[in-house]
Amino acid sequence: MPTIQAKATRLARRARLTRWLGRGLETHIALPVFAVLLLAAMWLLTLRFVGSEHEAAAIAAHTATQERLDTYEAQMARSLNGIDQTLKVLKYAVETKGTQGAIPALREQGLLPPGLVFVVAGMAFKLGAVPFHMWAPDVYQGAPTAVTLLLGGAPKLAAFAMLMRVLVEGLPSMAADWQQMLMVLAVLSLAIGNLTAIAQTNIKRLLAYSSIAQMGYVLLAMMAGVVGGDTSNMSTAYSAAMYSSITYVLTTLGSFGLIMMLARSGFEAEQIADFKGLGRRSPWFAIVMTVLMFSLAGVPPMMGFMAKWAVLQAVANTGMIWLAVVAVLFSLIGAFYYLRVVKTMWFDEAADTSPIATPADMRVALSINGIAILVLGVVPGALLGTCLQAIRATLAA
């Protein structure tokens, strides 16, 4: 079954699936979305594995819809890394005693301690956290923008749901172990994601490293739930992680949606330098992109600022002030490359100053996205309250 990802890639190239998928990528979005729902809902490890492979196969086929060498290279990188992580989890869950059932069965058989590191590694791969992030930049850059938009959205929410299901609900007695792992993953993701993004010139590759850094904040919040046996911070921390995940997904949808719309309108949108003069050619979309970049940078009053504030507050409640300071420092470093995109749009001159014609439906959708990022940052109470209620209901179940 792990080879299903590589097979999907070969089929996309040799059987010309690009002709089928290319007729309307939107009609095939249901495949990975179904897998994401399966990942979030299932308790049995076997069914969770099936959902993971289903999602990987769907993404593999979608990624390979462009007949370009870097596209196939990107998908092969993700497939091979995914196979490696899948085999590790399977070895842990099945090989020793044939256990493929629920997590309590693994606990009874004493298989949890040696396999916990493999389970955390598998979920870190789904999140694109360091050091399991090497697939992300190549896939984000090489895949069609519509696929990158999908890849950077729903699977991140599914990975958060997996963290809640497997670690928080399934392994609370081992919180002291997996929290240390999440803290290391979070700090590494913040450091490598932000520092490497500074050197990027391709906008999609920059957003890939940005996603790695953003997942660092989610992991920080997950780590802060239970520290030293104190469970009083659980609801606050996990709701902050949920809010951060939703914030990232909304911002990603807007960012890649804008890139995709500009590309379809004949505007080169691959390199950061391609955005020169966007403020003159299309002021409204430059404003929307500015809102999205400010949100990712954590600039108030954007939604991204409230997400980072909620995470930092949860971390500070644990007494780990040094960890909150580290997160703030890397956030300041990350602001540089987001503001560089804003500077390029508004202050750099472009050779072509003609207006950009865009479809009305895309204009409306992206405008709603940008306004939502701003409004939910100014008035975050409703969404934060909803996240808190959802987490409390989950913990009480």
Q: Rounded to an integer, what distance in angstroms lies between the CA atom of residue 380 and that of residue 373?
A: 10
Which residues, in sequence order, are bridge partners of residue 202?
Answer: 271
How does pLDDT run across 304-334, given as a tens digit for each residue? 999 999 999 999 999 999 999 999 999 999 9
The crossing angle, in degrees rounded to 10, of helices 154-162 and 45-63 is: 160
Residue 19, burial from CB neighbour count under 10 angstroms (0-12, 13-18, 19+): exposed
- Provide the pLDDT for residue 247: 95
Residue 231's pLDDT band (boundaries 50, 70, 90)?
A: confident
**Interacting residues of 64 by C-beta distance below 8 A, sequence separation 6+:** 8, 9, 12, 13, 17, 18, 71, 72, 75
| pLDDT tens per residue, range 53-89 | 555 555 555 555 555 545 555 555 555 555 444 555 5
- Please list the residues that pair with 84 across neighbouring strands: none
Q: Which of 181-185, 206-210, 216-220, 267-271 has the lowest mean pLDDT?
A: 267-271
pTM of the model: 0.81
So where are the chain's domains?
4-396
The owner of tokens 């990022």 is 373
Which one is predicted more confidently, 92 or 221?
221
**Three-state SS sequence of 194-213:** HHHHCCCCEHHHHHHHHHHH
| pLDDT value of position 165 | 82
